Amino acid sequence: MIKNIFKKNSKYSLLTIVIMIILIGYTVSLIYPLLWGFITSFKGTLDYISNPIGLPQKLAFENYMTAYQYFYLTVENGANTEYIYIEEMIMNSLLYSVGGAFFATFTAAITAYATARFKYAFSKVVYWIVIVTMILPIVGNLPSEIQVTKALGLYDSIFGLFVLKANFLGLYYLVFYAMFKAIPKDYEDAAKIDGASNFQIFFRIMLPMAKKIFFTIMLIQFITFWNDYQTPLLYLPTKPTLAVGLFNYSTSTINAISSTPVKLAGALMVFIPIFIVFIFTQKRLMGGMQMGGLKE
């Protein structure tokens, strides 16, 4: 039987088994730190020092209470010092993640539609701009970008971040481009016969056809923005998000949260919401995008 497994024409070849072992090892390497962090977050300080790997001797739920109590930031707002607590950080994170994800996805969708369905020379220029910017790294523009946002009154504004994120550069433009390019022209011609304008064709025909791709990309963008701490750290100095709060929390020197279990409790408080989103949307994340397909 063992010999049959390794036969060339067998369902499970040697290469398949090796790949399965590698993938299983990789999966374990991802799950183990998460499981260890969850278990450790319920340990007391002495319990963790004496037994850093095993199960907790007594569940220390107070770690989460301590983490919640000290999960705050102090920000300078003019001459005043303000305390930003976790509730406000959660609200800032939701506004930034949902709004930024929507504007980023919608901008990519409408630009891809315009360049895919209207065969102008500028459409090709836009397409190749996206390709070139994906190949060539853009570095050194951060100081000038901050100066421009300050000059336009977009600095330290969540709406300003919406404007910054509303761009079409990147992979998702290509996904929408392939989708709109593959839609038969018959839909468009039939709508024009009925007197529909280009905007009506996009919003009432094309966008509904791409709704699954649209919401899948928006969901991926939401997770990306929720975990993003660098952009809010630079552009929202008085409106920190939960990711910025976690960054400050993890580097805090306050004695009450200096222990590893308490720090892990705070990290899991931030992780749990996005984990719940993933659990309920994993099917859409794993298989929601079908490039160039109209299949429901």
Expressed as residue numbers, the domain containing 82 is: 65-287
44 in a structural domain: no
Q: Specify the number of domains making up the chain.
A: 1
What pLDDT score does 106 carry?
A: 94
> Cα–Cα distances in Å, from 15 out to 10, 12, 18, 21?
11, 8, 5, 10
The half-sphere exposure of 248 on its side-chain side, counting CA atoms within 13 A, is 19
2 in a structural domain: no
85 in a structural domain: yes
Query: CB under 8 Å to 288, separation ≥6 — which residues?
Result: 212, 213, 215, 216, 219
185 in a structural domain: yes
Output the domain CATH number for residue 140: 1.10.3720.10
117 in a structural domain: yes
Higher pLDDT, 212 or 140: 212
What pLDDT score does 230 carry?
A: 87
158 in a structural domain: yes
14 in a structural domain: no
pLDDT tens string 72-131: 788 877 677 788 888 888 899 999 999 999 999 999 999 998 898 888 888 888 888 888
What span, in angstroms and rounded, lies between the C-alpha atoms of 40 and 237? 32
What span, in angstroms and rounded, lies between the C-alpha atoms of 155 and 210? 33
End-to-end distance of the chain based on CA atoms, in angstroms? 43
What span, in angstroms and rounded, lies between the C-alpha atoms of 118 and 74? 51
What span, in angstroms and rounded, lies between the C-alpha atoms of 287 and 219? 13
Of 269, 265, 212, 279, whose CA–CA distance to 60 is shortest? 265
pLDDT tens string 41-81: 888 888 888 888 888 888 888 888 888 888 878 887 767 77
What pLDDT score does 275 carry?
A: 82
Give 291's pLDDT tier (boundaries 50, 70, 90).
Answer: very low
For all residues of the chain together, what is the average pLDDT? 82
110 in a structural domain: yes
Give 5's pLDDT tier (boundaries 50, 70, 90).
Answer: very low
